[in-house]
Structure 1
């Protein structure tokens, strides 16, 4: 948490709003620098100077440099698990995930991979960010396994749970990369959405025989 220099009598809502403004300011300047000169070559000191804050303020809000670039990571990790936990009555885990992916694609959701050519290129050009992204995919699959285990009342290390999470996670990983590849090819979002929507249907269809009735509410 950043050092709060506001009065202790100041309303909590206002303090929180100012913290969020500072966090967004730092994130925006970091993204601009990462895209302009590359993630690896940009320093925390440069980001602090651009945002007109202390280096300590930057690291208070973003403990790791990667956190400045991938600031949707919490939502990304939790996305599949939340979809399974919130699935509709009578809906399988696969059906819920399939529906949620179609919605995310239609909305060009950044969490699904729609981030724009400059941002996608920044990630692709950075070994650090590419490695970090692979780790986020792993964490997302782990969270999905936890949600599936809860849904079917089985241990998380159950082979069926782990296999289901692996299959579902892999399809989402492949589709995410597909969106990134098409973005790097400078395809517009509407074209990417149309292409990936068709390909996602084919990918999810492959899982229907084994997972079509798995974890139905």
Structure 2
């Protein structure tokens, strides 16, 4: 079958960030992943619906999402290393900060980060040593504890989030942000539905 997918332009990375050192808790070849993601070829048959323009738009959107994933990983690795943390450490601090001051249990945190109990305990120990969080007794359940963000941890979350706020505000005009946010929410919900359906089999 002849490949009718639109040719994608050469990728050029324009960023003021220096090359990102990869966190010790992740092994990822960003350049190889980026190259393989751009070589997407024909969309899968299930995706080939509507007009050729629809198919071209879908292919471009998926390719852009894959490139976004790689660039997100690069920025997160750089920002985490700048704070002396691993990527998963940073993800957890940002998650806690986004919870608007609500504490979480280690089990809830492990579910969000998809970590085992042992890995979650190690992460909490590490962040507590850094002074970024503290564990307190759970007043609603004496058998468990709650994890609270400290001012130091909140400062890390703000610093990391600022890099994303800068990029998003640069790329998306204020008048379009609600629409972009809605599209991202819809894509996330669709991916979650497929994940739940696949794991329920």
TM-score between the two structures when normalised by the length of structure 1: 0.28
Which one has a larger percent helix, Structure 1 or Structure 2? 1
Richer in strand (by share): 2
Which fold has the larger relative contact order, with Cα–Cα distance below 8 Å and residues 6 or more apart in sequence? Answer: 1
TM-score normalised to structure 2 length: 0.30
